[in-house]
Structure 1
């Protein structure tokens, strides 16, 4: 039997859902009307998911808006964790929230700033399927609110407050799903033409050069990321690292705060290695990744960051669908399908050899 607090929590969510649908209900609008309201828009709010990867997969939408409509007022609602992604882009108004339910004041402040923004259009980038997301959409008061059809397992349905729900075809990548929001407004965006980006600051590049001397060509490894169910395994990463070291590469270990024990465990017995796990901010991590010949890691925000700065990626998928959230880059190899087909060390080394041989060939051509 569920605990009383859990029951009350669900009842409260249903009450908020009913209130939102009563006070902020939106009638579906035709394609022509969507286009008309979009052309009149001067203030646009984009809601991004909470993770670094979610934020990076929303950057193509963001870049299109800024390039196509340089004079609109553009705001982004995001979690404090992923806010550093958007701080790298100029002329954005950030509205940040925190998931900790004990920190209600930052959420109320974020909702107030959302209300003050007075958006004309609200775009709920993937994933936009929680009651908190619906609160932001409702309080925005936007005359046009769009998101995607929510999965069946999501929180109480709040589709009633959106004017249009984009379909979510199975196997469609999240980058294209986000761009579908703009296509639903009449924008012509060919498939595969926009990819995640992250502009690396000069000061971060200088820091990366200090951390990684030119003694070795470097390969970045990230053995963690998100849920442990997505991890390939420390022993597998250690075997890959030893093989690369024997070929003359240096190993850089990366990861966020809280992953330090994982980095220390992997670093033991590997030479040459630089363990930067938990020591860098996002801008410095991006610069280190850009300084490396290759990134090898699990499905994580760092995987998307490596792809966004143009570093070749070998992405290992154990428990998630790469067709939906894989690295959206032509310089990436995806191994595993998230359905039990886990790659071997030999598979990962073969993929690494492909990209390392390519970068070595390019550098030798540049020197000749």
Structure 2
């Protein structure tokens, strides 16, 4: 059954390419004034998708009158209900024939931007995009064949957020503001006093922080008269159970959708998250936060020029011996140092993530104190 569902979509793209490729040599980039329709195409997970918000901002600044369509995973579409930067989000997946067919029925796009994998250029060309722009040097090389304009990564360290905006020529977009991405009205519980969100889940077990460290951090928050709100994703409830929250804590374990979680984060005095999708959701919620870095790169995924209007402090080892991967989205990046191994006992897997264990609660407390300035009347012994 799976093959029967996937095959029609592939046939549709293949058949359309056969019709369009003979005319490939005639393609020309549309003149700036003629650009009316723009497609941003990706299949990112939540974190990478939200970090690429800078691309949407820059596109709107450069093409103020253009219609911008964001084709993203279906589960992310709800976040864009308020139409940030005037874009329209549509859900799709390569294996979902109906969603691919929907892209074929749309009016032709003048420009298509691939903020992730260049293999999506085959779909962009198949649906008739006049000019396709992506990042250069993706491996393997065949993925780049249909990219009309290849933009190199930065040769110096910078956040992936700021790199994403490089697909559009010109200066950086103005920093993120909630004016450009309004919050939706959602129903949330009332906690009765200011609170701090402690999000304990992560996209990989290699990013889990030990339960005892979370307990120590929570004790500090309570001592400052703030409510502790525990958060995690669906299926991660055992992480909160292991921490054993105090009776007065609030627990939002796997019970909120993305819009509700964004609103919860926005109302917090601060948030503490591992380097995961929710940390980047906190950025578009404009909440001060501390990010915990173990296997990930703070340079790539921490603070950025685009999200500079809200504090984002990274805590974790600057260097770790097994953080040796140097690629980003299948492209070699010499200055990037990260680790994307999974937890397990097989060769090449991580038996026990030591990089997160070395992130001491005292380090996180010191960063959190900076985000709660009116709480700075504590002495050094308090932290």
TM-score normalised according to structure 2 size = 0.74
For 1:37, the equivalent position in structure 2 comes to: 31
SS of alignment partner, residue 279 of structure 1: coil
Do the aligned residues in 1 keep the contact of 2:35 with 2:111 (CA within 8 Å)? yes
Distance of 1:353 and 1:175 partners within structure 2: 26
By how many angstroms is 1:120 displaced? 0.9
1:145-160 matches, cutoff 5 A: 145-152=132-139, 157-160=142-145
Give the alignment partner of residue 194 of structure 1, picking from 162, 165, 175: 175
By how many angstroms is 1:359 displaced? 7.8
1:45-64 matches, cutoff 5 A: 45-64=39-58
Do the aligned residues in 1 keep the contact of 2:76 with 2:91 (CA within 8 Å)? no
By how many angstroms is 1:350 displaced? 0.6
Query: Any stretches of 5+ residues in structure 1 without a counterpart?
Result: 1-12, 362-368
SS of alignment partner, residue 229 of structure 1: helix
For 1:364, the equivalent position in structure 2 comes to: none
By how many angstroms is 1:38 displaced? 3.7
By how many angstroms is 1:263 displaced? 2.5
Change in Cα spacing, 1:276 to 1:92, as seen in structure 2 (3 Å) is same
Which structure: greater helix fraction? Answer: 1
Do the aligned residues in 2 keep the contact of 1:111 with 1:139 (CA within 8 Å)? no
Do the aligned residues in 2 keep the contact of 1:315 with 1:334 (CA within 8 Å)? yes
Change in Cα spacing, 1:128 to 1:143, as seen in structure 2 (3 Å) is same
- Whether 1:75 and 2:94 are equivalent positions in the alignment is no
Distance of 2:281 and 2:360 partners within structure 1: 24
For 1:332, the equivalent position in structure 2 comes to: 312
- Whether 1:96 and 2:83 are equivalent positions in the alignment is no
SS of alignment partner, residue 109 of structure 2: coil
By how many angstroms is 1:226 displaced? 0.6
SS of alignment partner, residue 38 of structure 2: strand
For 2:340, the equivalent position in structure 1 comes to: none
For 1:120, the equivalent position in structure 2 comes to: 110
TM-score normalised according to structure 1 size = 0.77
For 1:10, the equivalent position in structure 2 comes to: none
For 2:195, the equivalent position in structure 1 comes to: 218
Do the aligned residues in 1 keep the contact of 2:151 with 2:167 (CA within 8 Å)? yes
1:149-298 matches, cutoff 5 A: 149-152=136-139, 157-169=142-154, 171-183=157-169, 188-190=170-172, 193-195=174-176, 198-201=181-184, 203-204=185-186, 207-208=187-188, 211-214=189-192, 216-266=193-243, 268-298=244-274
SS of alignment partner, residue 183 of structure 2: coil
Distance of 1:223 and 1:28 partners within structure 2: 52
Do the aligned residues in 2 keep the contact of 1:21 with 1:158 (CA within 8 Å)? no
Change in Cα spacing, 1:20 to 1:235, as seen in structure 2 (3 Å) is farther
Give the alignment partner of residue 281 of structure 2, picking from 302, 305, 310: 305
Do the aligned residues in 1 keep the contact of 2:369 with 2:376 (CA within 8 Å)? no
In the TM superposition, what whole-angstrom CA distance separates every residue of 1:267-295 from its partner, at most 9, and x where no partner exists? x2424211112111111111111111110
Change in Cα spacing, 1:275 to 1:71, as seen in structure 2 (3 Å) is same
Do the aligned residues in 2 keep the contact of 1:318 with 1:339 (CA within 8 Å)? no
Do the aligned residues in 1 keep the contact of 2:271 with 2:290 (CA within 8 Å)? yes
Change in Cα spacing, 1:37 to 1:112, as seen in structure 2 (3 Å) is farther
Which segments of structure 1 move beyond 6 Å, counting only runs of 4 or more?
A: 19-22
* RMSD over equivalenced CA pairs, Å: 3.1
For 1:366, the equivalent position in structure 2 comes to: none
Change in Cα spacing, 1:86 to 1:58, as seen in structure 2 (3 Å) is farther
For 1:110, the equivalent position in structure 2 comes to: 99
Give the number of equivalent residue pairs: 320
Change in Cα spacing, 1:360 to 1:311, as seen in structure 2 (3 Å) is farther
By how many angstroms is 1:70 displaced? 3.9
